[in-house]
Structure 1
Amino acid sequence: MKEQEHILYNQSVKGFGNLSIRAFNVTTDSEMLLDWVNRDYAIFWGMQNATLAEVEKEYTQLSQRKHYDIFIGTYKDQPAFVLERYNPNYDLINEYYTPQQGDCGIHVIVAPPSNDKKPNFTWHLFSFIMDFVFQNPLISRILVEPDIRNKKMFALCQRIGFQLDKVVELPHKTAQLAFLEKTQYQKLKKISKINKRSTMNTLDNSVSPQQSIAHLQPKVWETVNRALIKKSICEFSHELLITPTITEVLANGWKSYSLHADHADTVYTFKAKPLALQHLLIETNSLQKKVSGIAVQLDAIVFIKEFRKQLGIDVKKMPVYLEEIISTLYGSAFKVIKGNPEVSELAHADFQTIEQSMTEGHPGFIANNGRIGFDSSDYRSYAPEAGNTFHILWLAGHKSQAVYASLENLPYDTLIKQELDSDTINTFNTVLKNKGLNPEDYLFIPMHPWQWFNKLANIFSPEIATQNLVCLGYGPDQYMAQQSIRTLFNTSYPTKFYTKTALSILNMGFMRGLPLYYLGTAPKMAVWLEELLYPDPFIQETGFRMLSEIASVSYVNPYFEEFGVHNDYNKMLASLWRESPISAINENEKPVTMASFLHIDDKGDALLPEFIAISGLSIEDWLRNYFKAYLSPLLHCFYHFDLVFMPHGENIIMVMENNIPVKILLKDITEEACILSPEVSLPPHLKRMYAEVPEDVKLLSIFTDIFDGFFRFMSAILEEHLNFSEDKFWELVASTIHEYQNRYPEHKAKFAQYDLFAPDFHLSCLNRLQLNDNKQMIDLDDPVALLQFAGILRNPIASFRKEGAVKQPI
C-alpha cells in the first residue's frame, strides 16, 4: 500500500467544496496534530497530555512501519483530518480477527469543530476518505476498530454503511470491529439522501463536558418548562390536588382559568377546554404566571415548590422528587434538540425509529423521566430517546447461586445457542477455562453494561473474588433500549428475543430490579396463560397475543438473601428473555408502540392523525378497527377469564397493516398479569397470580388503565388536532362494548355486576402514589393496599347505555 511522498487526491463535492489529501509531514504537521489530540473530543485517540516531542516520535515511528501510511486531508486548504491507513495482516489487530484478502484498516481524527462548519461536515469527510481508500483496486473491505465508548464514531460509520461486528479486548482499549464492503459502499453512494440515523448519534456523548449540556439552551429550557407546567396543571387538577378557577367563559367550550399557589400572590392563568374525565385541554401559549401582579418567567421546578402544600409533598421527600422533575426537564430538552422525524415522516418509519422518537414518556406521571443513577454520559448511551445501540455484557454465574427457568422445550443450552453464536460461546468458555474453571459449572447471564459498572462490580465483589461470578465480556449483537429502558431490542437480529435486565436506577417510583420471586415462575405463567387464552375463538379472532417471557436467569447474592424477595439488593442480577414482536407479525404488518398514538412532534403536530390519514379510512372506521384490536380482547379477558393486565401505551405493541390497527401484542406479563376470582383454578406455583381485590375496584382495570390512562389523552388529541368530537369518540367506545356484550349474552349477570356503563367510577391517582412514596409506590404483594383514590370520575360512556340493558344493582 505504500504511496509516494506527498501524493495528492482531489475531489469536489457539490454544495460542499473541495477536499484533498496529501502525505503527513512529521516536521510541519506534528504541532497542529498536538493541538488536536489534546482536545476533549480526542480522548479516544489516546494521546492526551502528549508533548510535541512525543507526537513527533510517535509519528516518525508510524511512518517507518511497513504497510502503514499517514495522510492529511484538507478542506478549503485547511487541515480537516488525519488519516492512518494500514494493512491488518501486519498489525496487532490480526490476532483478534481473521483478515481477508483486500482488507485495509484505517484510523481517523477530525480537526476540532469551527464556527463556520457546514452541516454534515464529518459525513462528507468520511465519504471522501472512503472514496480515497477504495480507489485502490486491491482494497475491497475497510476495517475500523474504535473504542466501544466512542458512540460518535459508531453512528458515523453506520451512516456510511459499515456493518458492526464483534467486540474485542485490545491491550489498550475495548474495541468494536466494523467492516465496510466496497460493493455495499458503492451501492449506498448511489442514494442521494444522507443516511442519517439520529442527530444525537452525530454527537460525542461520552467525554465532552460541553456536549453533556449542549441541549440546555435558554429558548429550549423555556419551552420544556412551559410544557411541563401545562402537564402539571392538567394532571394535578385531574387528581384533585389543585383547583383552577374559571374566570371567563369563552367561545366553543373554551374558558379562562386562574390558579393560586400556596402563597396567594402567585397566580397562574391559562385558557383551556374542559373535556371528559376531568381533563383540561390547555392552550400552551396562554399559560402565564404573575407574582403580585408582575409577569414572571415560567419555571417548572419553582412551580412544584410553590404548590408543595397543595400537592401534599413531605418536606423530606421533596428534594428527591425535585431531582426527578429536573431530570425530566433535562430529558425533555434533549428530545427537543435531538431532531426527531416530523410526524409526516414518522408515520412511515420502522418500529425502532418510532420507538426512539417518542418524547412524552408516561402521559400521566409528571416526574416520568427521573432515571436517578444515570449520569449525562449514561443518558446518551442508554436512554431510548438517544437512539444509540450498544452491546450487552455477559457474565457467568456458578450454578450454586445461579438459577435458570424456562419453557420445557427451551433448555438452557438451546437458548444460549440461539442467542450467541458458536465462536462467542467458545470464547466465553475459554475465559472460564483460562481461570481454571469448568464451563459446565456456570450459567451465562446477559447484563446491562450500566448495571455491571455501577452496581455489580462493587456490590458483588465477594462473588467475583471467589469466582462464583465471572465477567466474560461483551456479546457480539447490538441492542437498543425500548421505552421501558431496561427492555432491550436486538437490532443485529430482530427476530431474536427481547432481553430484559435488572437496571438499578430509580425511575417513576421504583428501583428497576428483577426479582427471582417472579422470574422463576415467568415461563410457567406464559405457558398457563397461552393454554388458557389462545384456544379461545374470540382471542383468535382479535389476533390478541402476549409476548411471553419464555426464560430467565437469576443470581442469588447470599449476603442479602435473608432480607426478603423484594429487597432491592436481591433484584440486581437477573435477566429474562421475551418473545420478539418481529417473530409475531406477518409480512405486510408493522409493529409500533401504542404510545405513539399520543405522540406530538417538535412542531406541535400529532402522529395519530397521520396514521389515520394514510390508512385511507374515515376517523370513525379507523377507531372501530382500533377498539376491536385493543379494547375487545381486554374486555374478553376480564369478563370471560377474570384476568387483567397492565395494558398502558408502552406495554402494548400495536400491529398495523396499511396503518390500520389489526391486533395487539402485550408485554410485561410476569409482574402485572392478575387473576381476580378465587374460583379460577391456578396451579400451585402460580398462586401469586390471584389478587384479593375489592369488588368496587376490579373494574378499574378498564376504567383506570384504559379509559382514564389512555383514552383520555387519545380523545383529547383527536379533539385538538382533528376537531373530532370527544362525544363521538366515547360513543364508538360504547359501541365496541355493546358489540362484545351482544356477542356473549351468557355473561349478562357479570356485565351487570361489573357495569361499564355505570354513571361514575373511583378516581385512582398515579401522581398521588408517587408523591406519597417515590421509591416504592405500591406493595407488590398487595397491589391494591396503597392505591390513592380521590373522588369520582363521571363515566363518559354512561349516556350511551342501551335501553333494556341490565344496570348494576344498588
Structure 2
Amino acid sequence: MPFTTTTRVGELTVEPAHAARDARTLHDWLTHPASHYWEMSGLTRQQVHAYLTAMSADDAQDGWLLRHAGTPIAYAETYDPSRTVLDGLPPGTLDHRPGDLGMHLLVAPPPAPRGDTPRIPGLTDAVMTTVMRFCLTPAPDGGRGALRVVVEPDTRNTAIHAKNAAAGFRVLADVDLATDGHTKHARLSACTRDDFAASPLGDDTGPLSSRPAAHLRPALAEAAHRHLVAKALAEFTHERLILPEPDLDPDLDPDPDLDPDPARGPVTGASPAGGAAREVTHDDPRPYALVLDEAPHGAGGGTGGGRVTYRFTARRYPLEHWVIDEASLRRTRTRTRTRTGPGGVEHPAGPDALELVAELQPQLQVPDDLLPVYLEELSSTLAGAMAKRERESSPQSSPQSAPGLVRALSGPDVAGAFQAVESAMTEGHPGFVANNGRIGYSLSDYRAYAPERGGRLRLMWLAARREHTHLALGAGQTEHGLYGTPSTAGELSGAERAAFADRLTARGLDPDDYLYLPVHPWQWEHRVAITFAADVARHDLVPLGPGADEYTPQQSVRTLFNTTRPGHHYVKTATAIQNMGFLRGLSPKYMRDTPAVNDWVADLVTGDATLRRAGFGVLRELAAVGYTGDVYHRTPTDNPYRKMLAALWRESPLPRLADGERVATMAALLHRDATGTALATTLVTASGLDPEHWLRSYLDAYLYPLVHCLLAHDLAFMPHGENLVLVLRDHVVTRVFMKDIGEETAVLGPRPLPARIERLRALVGDEEKALAVFTDMFDGVLRHLSGILAADGVLPAARFWAVVGQVVDRHRDEHPDLAARHGHGLGVDLRARTFAHSCLNRLQLRDTRQLVDLTDQASSLIYAGRLTNPIGTTVTT
C-alpha cells in the first residue's frame, strides 16, 4: 500500500520506485538542466534503469516515487547514513544515532510553458512535506519510522537550502563528500520529529504525537486541572487553610453535626470554623462549596471584583481527609455590578489550578515575591500531569493500567515489572500539591529523563582528581570491587575501565591519580560543563564519555536503576535540579559518612530478632564519592554549589528475592490509572484475600517493624511511598526494604552512637518522637490508602483503622518490656487521643525554594493545631 497524506495541494502518495516502470520518467528528470546538482545528466536511459535496479537490491537504501492525482511529481531516496554516503565523516561531524535516516529529493522539473498546464502553486512545499512525513511516520503507519532525517545537498544549491530550512532542518557542518569519483562540497543538516513539527512545512496535520508539545492541549489540560484542583482543595482543607461548607438548600436547616466547636477555637491561618466541623466523616458523597471573594483587579483577570465559587461532592474520612469527586467540580464567577453591566450573574469557568492558587493567596499566605515561584512549580506539575495523561491514553499504554501492572507482577520478568510500576506512577507525592516542579528541565529533558516517560539513559563518567575527591566505602567494599578493573567487572565493565584509562593516558594523565564519578546527563550538560568549567579545563575533572549500561530514572528523579544489569547497584546522582522545595543535589561532606551510617543501621536491623522475623530489610548505600576541588568549597558560607558533584551506589533489591517474589515501589499503593482504577484495589482483588487480611499483611510488613524501630531503638526513617520497596507474593505484601538511609534517618534519643554517625541524632520529646509514626505513616501514607480503599468500596475507613490499631497493639503485646516504657501516658503513646498536625504544603507555601533547614528540621516545621488520632483510645472503631 502506498503511503498517503493530505497536503495543501491535495492528496500525495509515496510508493517504491520500479526500474521497468519509472526509468524513462526519471531519466527525463535527471537530464533536465534544473536537476544539475544531482550530477547525473550524462546517464543514458539504460544507465538510469541499472541505477534503479541497484537501488532496489541494496538493503541500505531505497528509491521512492511521489504522485499527485496519479501523476509522478517527485523522486526521493532514503538511506542508512552510517552505511552509505555519510559513513566516513570526520569524527564529531555527525553523531550517528539509532533512528537516523538519510534523504535525497528530486522534484520533477517544471513543464514547458503551456497555457493549459500551469505549475501548481505550492507543489514543491507539498512534496517536501510529504517526504518528511513519510520519513518520520512510524513504520506501522506506513512510514519509515525515522527519529531524525539527515541531508547533504550541495552547498551551492540555495533553493534546496531554503526548502530544508522551511522543513526544520538545522545545519550541522559543511563537509566534503567523495561520491562516484568526485567530491561534493555538501551542507550536512538534520531534522528531528520535533524540528519538523514546529517548522512552517510541518503544518500540524501529521500524527498528533509528532507535534511540538503535543501533550499541551485542551482535553488533557482540562483533566489535569480538574485533578490538581481537587487535590489542592482536599490538601489545603486538610491543612486547615480553607474549609468548604456544605452546599445546602438555603431553605433547609444545616446539619447540626457541622456546627463549629467553640471550645476548640479557630486555627491560625485557616477558616474560623472549629474542630467539629472539620472532623465530620461520611462515606457517601455530599455536596460542598467554597466561596471566595475576588478582589478588584485580582486573580482570574477580574476587573470589578465579585465571587468565585467551587462546588463539588466529597467523601470525608478520619484525619480530616477529603476525597473529592473530580467529575463533580464546578467553578463559577459571580461579577459585581459595574457601569457596563449588571452583577450577580454566575458565569461558568472551568477548574484552573493556577487561578485557584492566585484566588487563595490570602488564605495560603504565600509571600508576594514567592507567589510566581510557587506558580511556576505548579505549572511544571500541571505540564507533567498532561504528559502523563497523554502517555496513558495512547494505544500502547495498556501495560500502564492498574490491571496491566498487576499482570506484569505475575509474569516472569521481575526487573521489567518493577520498572513498569515505577514509571507508571502519575501522582508524585500524595500530600504536596506542587509535587513535580523539576525546575530546570526543558521539554526535551522531560521527555528524556522524567521517570514516568519510562526511558533509558546512560550515565556520563568523570575522572575526578584523587587529591580533591573522597571515596567512602562500606563494610566489605573495596575500590577495585566497586569500580572493577580492566580485567574484571564491577559497576564498570572491564572494557569501560580499560577505555577510561586509555583516554586519561592519551591526555597525558595518570589513571592512578583519579577516581571515577558518575553524573546524570542533564547534570553534565547544565552543571559540570558550565558551573565547573574551570575544573574541567585544568583536568581536575576529566569527561570520559557515557558508560555502557542503560539506566531507568526512578520516581525520585536523580536515582537510577540499572536496566542492563538489574542485579547491580542503583546510582544516585547529584542532578541538582530544583524540585519540591529543594535543590536536589548531594553533599560530598555528607557522602563521607553515608556508608558508615548505612552499615550501622543495617547491623542494627539484622541484629534485631523482631525485625528479622518481620522480614524488614534495608538497601544499603555501599559507596559514595564526592568532589571538593572547586572554588565553591572555599567560599565563606555553605551554598548549593557544594552539592553538585557527588554520587552514591545503593544495593538493588533483586538479588535478595526468592522465587515467586516480586517488587514494587510503595508509592504504587496510592496510584490510580487514567481510568481511575486504583492499583491497591486491583491487588486486593487479584490476591483473593479478604481485604482486612490483605491490609494486615501489608501493615505487618510496613507499620509493625517501623513502630519497633522507633520504640526499641529511637530510630526513625522517612517512610513515604518512594522510600520503600514492597516485596509481594501472589499480590500480597509480605515484607519491605527501606531505602534512602543516609539522608533520611534519625536517632531521636540519647542512645550511644559511633562518632562518625553522630549526625543522625535529633533529641526530641516523646510526643514529637511519635510524629515519626503519626505524621510520616498515618497522615503521610495510610490516610491516602484508607481513602482509596474506602472510596472504592473495598474496606470501610473504620475497619481500616481498626486493623491499624490491632497491629500497633500486637506489637505492644509481644513486647511487654517496651510497653512498660511506652504506654498509658508514658513514653511514645501511639494510642494518644490527638497529635500535632504537621503540614507539608504550608512549608512549601512559605518558601518553595527550601522547605526546611536540613541542619535543624524539627524547628522548621509548621503545625496547624492537632489531629484526632484514628486509633486513639477515645476513638470508637
Instruction: Specify the TM-score bucket, using the shorter chain as the normaliser.
Output: 0.7 to 0.9
Asked which structure has the greater CA Rg, the reply is 2
The 3-state SS of whatever aligns with 1:483 is coil
Instruction: Tell whether 2:864 aligns with 1:790.
Output: yes
Q: Equivalent residues in 2 for 1:59-78 (5 A)?
A: 69-72=60-63
* Cα distance in 2 between the residues matched to 1:773 and 1:26: 71
Corresponding position of 2:324? 282
Corresponding position of 1:330? 383
Instruction: Tell whether 2:308 aligns with 1:273.
Output: no
Q: Which amino acid aligns with 1:232?
A: A
Q: Which amino acid aligns with 1:436?
A: G
Instruction: Tell whether 2:667 aligns with 1:595.
Output: yes
Corresponding position of 2:845? 771
Moved more, 585-594 or 19-28: 19-28
Corresponding position of 2:763? 692
For residue 381 of structure 1, the aligned residue among 444, 448, 451 is 448
Compared with structure 1, are the counterparts of its residues 775 and 494 closer, same or farther at alpha carbon in structure 2 (3 Å cutoff)? same
Output one character per residue of 1:373-418: Cα deviation in whole Å (capped at 9) or x when no partner. Answer: 0110000000001111011100001012111111242222221111
1:796 Cα deviation after fit: 0.7
The 3-state SS of whatever aligns with 2:622 is strand
Q: Which amino acid aligns with 1:278?
A: E
Contact (CA 8 Å) 1:551, 1:576: kept in 2 or not?
yes
Contact (CA 8 Å) 2:522, 2:575: kept in 1 or not?
yes
For residue 348 of structure 1, the aligned residue among 403, 407, 415 is 407
Q: Equivalent residues in 2 for 1:139-154 (5 A)?
A: none
Compared with structure 1, are the counterparts of its residues 721 and 93 closer, same or farther at alpha carbon in structure 2 (3 Å cutoff)? farther
* Cα distance in 2 between the residues matched to 1:436 and 1:604: 59
1:208 Cα deviation after fit: 5.3
Corresponding position of 1:313? 366
**Alignment coverage as a number of residue pairs:** 698
Compared with structure 1, are the counterparts of its residues 117 and 222 closer, same or farther at alpha carbon in structure 2 (3 Å cutoff)? farther
1:584 Cα deviation after fit: 2.3
* Cα distance in 2 between the residues matched to 1:585 and 1:618: 26
1:269 Cα deviation after fit: 1.3
Q: Which amino acid aligns with 2:828?
A: Y
Instruction: Tell whether 2:822 aligns with 1:751.
Output: yes
Output one character per residue of 1:288-312: Cα deviation in whole Å (capped at 9) or x when no partner. Answer: 1111122222211111100101100
The 3-state SS of whatever aligns with 1:213 is coil
1:121 Cα deviation after fit: 4.3
Corresponding position of 2:290? 259
* Cα distance in 2 between the residues matched to 1:115 and 1:428: 40
Contact (CA 8 Å) 1:234, 1:280: kept in 2 or not?
yes
The 3-state SS of whatever aligns with 1:242 is coil
Contact (CA 8 Å) 1:19, 1:73: kept in 2 or not?
yes
Compared with structure 1, are the counterparts of its residues 74 and 316 closer, same or farther at alpha carbon in structure 2 (3 Å cutoff)? same
Instruction: Tell whether 2:209 aligns with 1:218.
Output: no
* Cα distance in 2 between the residues matched to 1:489 and 1:30: 56
Contact (CA 8 Å) 1:715, 1:729: kept in 2 or not?
yes
Corresponding position of 2:234? 234
Contact (CA 8 Å) 1:676, 1:691: kept in 2 or not?
yes
1:799 Cα deviation after fit: 4.7
Compared with structure 1, are the counterparts of its residues 599 and 120 closer, same or farther at alpha carbon in structure 2 (3 Å cutoff)? farther
Q: Which amino acid aligns with 1:777?
A: L
* Cα distance in 2 between the residues matched to 1:731 and 1:502: 42
Compared with structure 1, are the counterparts of its residues 634 and 90 closer, same or farther at alpha carbon in structure 2 (3 Å cutoff)? same
Corresponding position of 1:724? 795
Q: Which amino acid aligns with 2:219?
A: K
Contact (CA 8 Å) 2:592, 2:624: kept in 1 or not?
yes
1:446 Cα deviation after fit: 0.6
Contact (CA 8 Å) 1:67, 1:86: kept in 2 or not?
no
1:722 Cα deviation after fit: 2.6
For residue 78 of structure 2, the aligned residue among 78, 82, 85 is 82
Q: Which amino acid aligns with 1:773?
A: D
Q: Which amino acid aligns with 2:871?
A: I
Runs (5+) with no aligned partner, structure 1: 1-8, 12-16, 34-50, 97-104, 130-143, 149-169, 174-202, 804-810
1:115 Cα deviation after fit: 13
Instruction: Tell whether 2:461 aligns with 1:394.
Output: yes
1:261 Cα deviation after fit: 2.3
Output one character per residue of 1:225-249: Cα deviation in whole Å (capped at 9) or x when no partner. Answer: 1111100000001001112112338
1:171 Cα deviation after fit: 11
* Cα distance in 1 between the residues matched to 2:23 and 2:361: 64
Corresponding position of 1:139? none
Compared with structure 1, are the counterparts of its residues 113 and 236 closer, same or farther at alpha carbon in structure 2 (3 Å cutoff)? farther
Instruction: Tell whether 2:749 aligns with 1:708.
Output: no
* Cα distance in 2 between the residues matched to 1:646 and 1:23: 70
Compared with structure 1, are the counterparts of its residues 501 and 85 closer, same or farther at alpha carbon in structure 2 (3 Å cutoff)? closer
1:106 Cα deviation after fit: 9.7
Q: Equivalent residues in 2 for 1:162-561 (5 A)?
A: 209=198, 211-248=211-248, 253-263=284-294, 265-292=307-334, 293-339=346-392, 340=397, 341-349=400-408, 350-417=417-484, 418-561=490-633
* Cα distance in 2 between the residues matched to 1:591 and 1:172: 52
Corresponding position of 2:639? 567
The 3-state SS of whatever aligns with 1:291 is strand
Corresponding position of 1:42? none
* TM-score, normalised via structure 2 length: 0.73
Contact (CA 8 Å) 1:479, 1:489: kept in 2 or not?
yes
* TM-score, normalised via structure 1 length: 0.79
1:117 Cα deviation after fit: 9.2
Moved more, 245-254 or 590-599: 245-254
* Cα distance in 2 between the residues matched to 1:306 and 1:55: 64
Contact (CA 8 Å) 1:599, 1:607: kept in 2 or not?
yes
Runs (5+) with no aligned partner, structure 2: 4-12, 41-47, 93-97, 104-127, 151-171, 176-191, 199-209, 249-253, 256-281, 295-305, 335-345, 409-416, 485-489
Moved more, 350-359 or 555-564: 555-564
Compared with structure 1, are the counterparts of its residues 728 and 69 closer, same or farther at alpha carbon in structure 2 (3 Å cutoff)? closer
The 3-state SS of whatever aligns with 2:247 is strand
Contact (CA 8 Å) 2:311, 2:329: kept in 1 or not?
yes
Query: Quick one: percent identity of the two aligned structures?
Result: 35
The 3-state SS of whatever aligns with 1:791 is strand
Instruction: Tell whether 2:139 aligns with 1:122.
Output: yes
1:88 Cα deviation after fit: 9.5
For residue 736 of structure 2, the aligned residue among 664, 682, 699 is 664
1:614 Cα deviation after fit: 1.2
Q: Which amino acid aligns with 1:446?
A: P
Output one character per residue of 1:110-152: Cα deviation in whole Å (capped at 9) or x when no partner. Answer: 99679999999424768x99xxxxxxxxxxxxxx99899xxxx
Compared with structure 1, are the counterparts of its residues 146 and 255 closer, same or farther at alpha carbon in structure 2 (3 Å cutoff)? closer
Compared with structure 1, are the counterparts of its residues 397 and 761 closer, same or farther at alpha carbon in structure 2 (3 Å cutoff)? same
Contact (CA 8 Å) 2:101, 2:148: kept in 1 or not?
no
Corresponding position of 2:167? none
The 3-state SS of whatever aligns with 1:437 is coil
Contact (CA 8 Å) 2:715, 2:747: kept in 1 or not?
yes
* Cα distance in 2 between the residues matched to 1:246 and 1:716: 20
Compared with structure 1, are the counterparts of its residues 456 and 434 closer, same or farther at alpha carbon in structure 2 (3 Å cutoff)? same
Contact (CA 8 Å) 1:68, 1:86: kept in 2 or not?
no
Compared with structure 1, are the counterparts of its residues 451 and 212 closer, same or farther at alpha carbon in structure 2 (3 Å cutoff)? farther
* Cα distance in 1 between the residues matched to 2:867 and 2:27: 72
Corresponding position of 2:153? none
Contact (CA 8 Å) 2:728, 2:735: kept in 1 or not?
yes
The 3-state SS of whatever aligns with 1:254 is strand
* Cα distance in 1 between the residues matched to 2:240 and 2:315: 17
* Cα distance in 1 between the residues matched to 2:352 and 2:15: 47
Compared with structure 1, are the counterparts of its residues 87 and 253 closer, same or farther at alpha carbon in structure 2 (3 Å cutoff)? closer
The 3-state SS of whatever aligns with 1:738 is helix
The 3-state SS of whatever aligns with 1:707 is helix
The 3-state SS of whatever aligns with 1:520 is helix
The 3-state SS of whatever aligns with 2:472 is strand
For residue 715 of structure 2, the aligned residue among 638, 643, 648 is 643
Compared with structure 1, are the counterparts of its residues 344 and 398 closer, same or farther at alpha carbon in structure 2 (3 Å cutoff)? same
